[in-house]
Amino acid sequence: MERLDFSLLNDLVHNREAGRLIAWLLIASLGMLVVVVTFQIGIALRRQSWQGAWRKTLRDLGIFPFLIGAIMIALLFIRSLLPPVPLNRVVEMCVPLAFGVQAALLLSPDDEPLLEITLASPRPLAWVLAERVVTMAAVLGGIALIGTAITVIRSPEYGSVPDLIVRWLPAALVLCSIGLSFTLAVHSSALSIVMVFILWLLMFFAATAITQMWPILWPVVMYPAPDSDGFTLNRIVVMLIGLALIVRAALLLRDEERLLLNLRKD
């Protein structure tokens, strides 16, 4: 049997400029998806006849986000325990992981009480998810901004507040979307947290090695070097990937019959 020639594929994955073309294709396709769905959400909000439950949503989140925030800020002050880690990297480590773990716990169909009643109510389950995502983003985002401000005050050489936000926000969106999507797919928050943790470890500690082995993947790594070529393109692509996966998670909840059938089958 003649051996297959993979030289063309090998040349492609090692072509950094091919990654730039992929980045623009992803921006065009995912950007269009996000714009269309945002427009549809706007129309739905104008026609909505149900009331929000923001206070209940905040109570449902519990103390977990605040606990993560307290740990993150504590790490900023006791960074002497982690001498090899620069101060700005502490924020980049904690914030996206906190978003991913909390997102995995937001809405697990197996753990949701009285799901059939919720599906029969006027408020769509996708709206319940949206309330929880927005509330989580407000709480953890506020904590992350405090940590970012502390970093800039203590070590201004790492850049301004917007510079640091651009470092952690896209990764936070991706891990949040992975936590949501995986929980809805496997109906298990625990497995979703493991998935988030594995992806975070891979991207945070092996991003440089990944781009060296396969240069074409530079548009999708979550932690590129700030001075790397195509840094802005990377940030846009990663943010759009996160937003698109969150949109996909919301769309999964629209098929209520399939959701109930899967639960009963499990």
Residue ranges of alpha helices (H) inside 105-230 are 115-120, 125-154, 161-186, 189-213
Residue ranges of alpha helices (H) inside 87-124 are 87-104, 115-120
Mean of per-residue pLDDT scores for the chain: 76
Instruction: Tell me what pLDDT residue 170 has.
Output: 93
Instruction: Tell me what pLDDT residue 84 has.
Output: 61
97 found inside a domain: yes
The arithmetic mean of pLDDT across residues 224-237, rounded, is 87
Q: How confident is the model at residue 2 (pLDDT cuts 50, 70, 90)?
A: very low
Q: Is it the case that residue 8 has pLDDT exceeding 60?
A: yes
For 153-211, how does the pLDDT look when each residue is reduced to its tens digit (9 = 90+)?
Answer: 877 887 888 888 999 999 999 999 998 888 887 777 888 888 998 999 888 888 888 88
Cα separation, 192 vs 263, in Å, equals 17
Whose tokens are 């995995």? That residue is 104
Instruction: Tell me what pLDDT residue 92 has.
Output: 83
Residue 192: closest CA among 136, 109, 91, 69: 109
Q: How confident is the model at residue 228 (pLDDT cuts 50, 70, 90)?
A: confident
Instruction: Tell me what pLDDT residue 65 has.
Output: 62
For 140-151, how does the pLDDT look when each residue is reduced to its tens digit (9 = 90+)?
Answer: 888 888 888 888
Q: Is it the case that residue 68 has pLDDT exceeding 90?
A: no
First to last CA, the chain: 45
Among 13-22, 137-146, 186-195, 228-237, the least confident range: 13-22
The arithmetic mean of pLDDT across residues 39-44, rounded, is 70
Instruction: Round the CA-based radius of gyration of the chain to a whole number and report it.
Output: 20
Q: Which residue has the higher pLDDT, 45 or 144?
A: 144
pTM score, two decimals? 0.79
Instruction: Look up residue 65 and give its amino acid.
Output: P
Q: How confident is the model at residue 56 (pLDDT cuts 50, 70, 90)?
A: low
Q: Which residue has the higher pLDDT, 161 or 256?
A: 161
17 found inside a domain: no
Instruction: Tell me what pLDDT residue 247 has.
Output: 84
For 110-141, how does the pLDDT look when each residue is reduced to its tens digit (9 = 90+)?
Answer: 555 545 445 555 566 777 777 888 888 888 88
Share of the chain above pLDDT 70, in %: 67
43 found inside a domain: no
Number of Cβ within 10 Å of residue 126's Cβ equals 19
Most confident of 25-29, 91-95, 135-139: 25-29
Q: Which domain holds residue 98?
A: 50-265
The answer for residues whose C-beta is within 8 angstroms of residue 121's C-beta and 6 or more apart is 50
How many domains is the chain partitioned into structurally? 1
192 found inside a domain: yes
The arithmetic mean of pLDDT across residues 67-83, rounded, is 62
Q: Is it the case that residue 265 has pLDDT exceeding 60?
A: no
